[in-house]
Homo-oligomer: A and B are copies of this chain.
C-alpha cells in the first residue's frame, strides 16, 4: 500500500528533468604554492556537462579532466552536490545540479598542455594563509568590516550572535585560528557582503570598496572553499598529501606541502616523528643537495601502507580490550 501510494504520487508529477554538471577542484602544490586548476581568466573551475557514457561519475571526471588538461589525476573524491546555489542574474531558467569533485595531481604533468591555468588558492582566499602569521587583510580589513557588519544588526541579540560567529570563524578574541573553517569564513563574508559574489545578486551594490580576494564565476569560489576545507581536514587522517608529491622527496618538502595546504606552519621535529612513526615513508638511500644546506635524505611513500593499515580512527572508549 505504502509503496503503491508513493509510486502514484511520483507518476502524477511532471517530468522534472534537469541538467547536471561535473565541477572539479583540481589541486597541485608547487614550491609552496597550493594551486588550483582554472579555466577562462582563471575565474572559473573546470566543468563539463554530465554524460552517462562513463561507467561512473569518477571515471567520467577523470577522463575529461585528463583529456582536457593533460593532467593524470591521482586521488579523486566527491565533494558535494549543489542545486540550491544562488543563481547569477536572478531568474535563470536553467536548472542545473552541480556535482563537485576534489582531485589531487602534480603540476609538472601539465607542461605539455597550454590550456590549464594554475592559480594559488590564496589569490582567491588571501585571509586563509597564516604561514607568516595572521595576514594583514584579516586584521586591517576584515575585522573592522565584520565588526561594522555585526553592529548593523537590528537587535542586541543578533549583534552578539554575529560578533561571536565572526570571532569563532576568524579566531578573534584569542580564540585560536582554525584552518578548517574555510567554508564558514567564506559564507560569513558572503553574508556580510564583503566579497564580490555577494554584491552580484543585486542585494545591495554597496560602496565600491575593494573586496578582498579574487572572485570567481557563479558559485565556484564557494566550491573551491569546500574543497580546501575538505583537503585541510583530510590530510590529518589520510595519507593523501603524497598524491601531491614527486615520487621521491625530502621530509622538508613534504612538510612544506602540508604547510601550504594547511596555511600554517608545523613543528619540524614533531612532524618528522609523526611521519616516521606512522611508517608512511621509507628512505630511498639517496640524498639530494639541491635543497641547499646539508644534503637531505630522500624518501618515497610506502604504498603498502594503504593496504596494511586502515587507520584506527577510534575515539570511543571501547570495552574489554
Q: Please tell me which one of the listed residues B15, B41, B55, B236 contacts residue A84 in the complex, with CB atoms under 8 A apart.
A: B55
Q: Which of A148-196 contact B (CB under 8 A)?
A: 164, 168, 178, 180-181
Min CB distance A178 to B, Å, is 6
Q: Please tell me which one of the listed residues B68, B80, B316 contacts residue A262 in the complex, with CB atoms under 8 A apart.
A: B316
Q: Are A236 and B313 in contact (CB under 8 A)?
A: yes
Min CB distance A253 to B, Å, is 16
Contacting residues, chain B, for A236 (C-beta < 8 A): 313-316
- Contacting chain B: which of A24-32, A42-50, A203-211? A42-50
* Of listed A49, A59, A312, residue having the most chain B CB within 10 A: A49
Min CB distance A94 to B, Å, is 10
**Interface bin, chain A:** 35 or more
Complexed CA–CA distance, A236 and B314 (Å):
7
| Chain copies in complex | 2
Q: Are A237 and B315 in contact (CB under 8 A)?
A: yes
Q: Are B316 and A97 in contact (CB under 8 A)?
A: no
Contacting residues, chain B, for A319 (C-beta < 8 A): 264-268
The digit string for A251-265, where 1 denotes a CB below 8 A from any CB of B, is 000000010001011
* Of listed A3, A5, A168, A274, residue having the most chain B CB within 10 A: A3
Q: Please tell me which one of the listed residues B2, B15, B16, B57 contacts residue A115 in the complex, with CB atoms under 8 A apart.
A: B2
Chain A residues within 8 Å of B, Cβ to Cβ? 2-3, 5-6, 10, 13, 15-20, 39-41, 44, 46, 48-52, 54-59, 68, 78, 80-81, 83-84, 95, 97, 99, 115, 117, 164, 168, 178, 180-181, 233, 235-237, 258, 262, 264-268, 270-271, 274, 307, 310, 312-320
Q: Are B313 and A233 in contact (CB under 8 A)?
A: yes
Complexed CA–CA distance, A164 and B315 (Å):
25
Q: Are A16 and B51 in contact (CB under 8 A)?
A: yes
Q: Are B318 and A264 in contact (CB under 8 A)?
A: yes
Q: Are B83 and A81 in contact (CB under 8 A)?
A: no
Contacting residues, chain B, for A313 (C-beta < 8 A): 178, 180, 233, 236
Contacting residues, chain B, for A267 (C-beta < 8 A): 317-320
Q: Are A52 and B314 in contact (CB under 8 A)?
A: no
Known: A271-B317, A316-B266. A16 touches B50 (CB 8 A): yes
* Of listed A6, A181, A262, residue having the most chain B CB within 10 A: A6
Complexed CA–CA distance, A48 and B12 (Å):
12
| Apart from A16-B52, A17-B18, A237-B315: 17 A-B pairs, beta carbons within 8 A | A2-B39, A5-B115, A6-B68, A10-B49, A13-B51, A16-B19, A16-B20, A17-B19, A20-B83, A57-B83, A78-B80, A180-B313, A233-B313, A236-B314, A262-B316, A265-B319, A271-B316
Complexed CA–CA distance, A271 and B316 (Å):
7
Contacting residues, chain B, for A164 (C-beta < 8 A): 307
Q: Are A18 and B317 in contact (CB under 8 A)?
A: no
